[in-house]
Amino acid sequence: MLEEAKKRDHKKLGVELDLFTFSELVGSGLPLFTPKGTLLRDLLDNFVWELRQKHGYQRVDIPHITKKDLYEKSGHWDKFKDELFKMTTREGHLFTMKPMNCPHHTQIYARKPHSYRELPQRYASTTKVYRDEQSGELSGLSRVRSITQDDAHVFCRITQVKEEIQKVWYMVHTFYESLGLKLELHLSLRDPNTPEKYLGNQNHWNEAERILREVAKENKTPYIEALGDAAFYAPKLDFMATDSLGREWQVATIQLDVHMPDSFDLNCINEKGEKERIVMIHGAIMGSIERFLSVLIEHFAGAFPIWLSPIQVAILPITEKQNKWAEEVSKELKANGLRVELDNNNETLGKKIRQAEMQKVPYLLIIGDKEVVAKSVAIRKRGEGDLGQLKLDKFIENVKREIEKKN
């Protein structure tokens, strides 16, 4: 297993597959994503956004810095001030690079009064946060200082909580099933022996923990109660993924927050025309996209499913005589939305195949004289070998169906 883990090391594969890099001039813990790596991130984030759109989420955008006042009010300043990047303006005001997004989202909700009829309000943004991790703790994409989060928050009434959590639950399972990652559930609770670590009303905490426990039971999902693993402001459902080497990773999370609505006095106007305190659900599908990518690269050993592969098809003409048909094939594949790389370099076919296989490309289309005459392609599939000759339109039909299924 140790040898296999070395082969799958995301730090090694990230370089070989040209997904990301680091620069001493930029700084440790600050990854730079290449075009292929950025595409991979976008494909994952777009899938999450597709799921969220179906459930009524709206995109919002927030700045990367804030006055410390925001985090003093939320409670984050006292907990994490030593881990924050801070700066002082020319006028002497203390600002910080945001380490999380939830307090900003509260201020979007708080911009105006909301009728109960307008709830739930569902905000989502994929954005960076920053944490001053110590150099010795940094490791590839697993632990970084610049963290991209696919963050979302639901502002709703207590009577709407279960339905909204079920929507996030569905999104989490749909996303991870498409990647073949099995999930286990942890119910992360307060440690009753250290109440000073947690903010908020004890009765509210009891209610939130009860609701999360009921959601797990209603979904007939066994869970482990993890005392002391709650966030300082909320209990949560943490989803643990097991990779192909049997290692467990914390990935998605759903948090039921009754503290922050109190801190920021977040309400709606109810049926009686009175102010009613709302609750807040935090939901991240991937969590830290950098950390999630480290898990995903190692899980697949860089051989991503076709819908997620930066290059889906490599076209390999045997000699330059087949270049014209190879270019037509490339054009047709691109017109059908496929991500294609045409290797018309003056190299041997064997070398072209080796290079494409090192890049973990799912399909290699080899084009010789027979394929030119028949207006077809000879297919070589990753992990399966040669599949024979097929008409181009039929190949496109088959691949598009495979991509649609996300398998």
Residues carrying an active site annotation:
102, 131, 149, 151, 153, 236, 282
Provide the β-strand partners of residue 377. Answer: 390
Strand runs labelled E in 2-109: 20-21, 32-33, 58-59, 65-67, 86-88, 94-97
The one-letter amino acid at 17: L
Q: How far apart are CA 350 and CA 236, in angstroms?
A: 52
CB 60 within 8 A of CB 125: yes
Q: What is the DSSP string of 240-266?
A: EEE-TTS-EEEEEEEEEESSHHHHTT-
Token output for 73: 């009010």
Q: Which helix (H) or strand (E) is 352 found in, with range?
A: helix 349-358
Cis peptide before 305 (omega within 30 of 0): no
352 φ, ψ to 5°?
-60, -45
The two structure tokens encoding residue 307: 């819908």
Q: Is 270 exposed, middle or buried (0-12, 13-18, 19+ CB in 10 A)?
A: middle
**Residue closest to 382 by CA, chosen among 285, 292, 300:** 300
Q: Coil, strand, or helix at residue 120?
A: coil
Please answer whether residues 184 and 224 qualify as being in contact, where contact means their C-beta atoms are separated by less than 8 angstroms. Answer: yes
Quote the CA–CA distance of 242 and 246 in Å, as a whole number. Answer: 6
Q: Which residues pair with 67 in a beta bridge?
A: 95
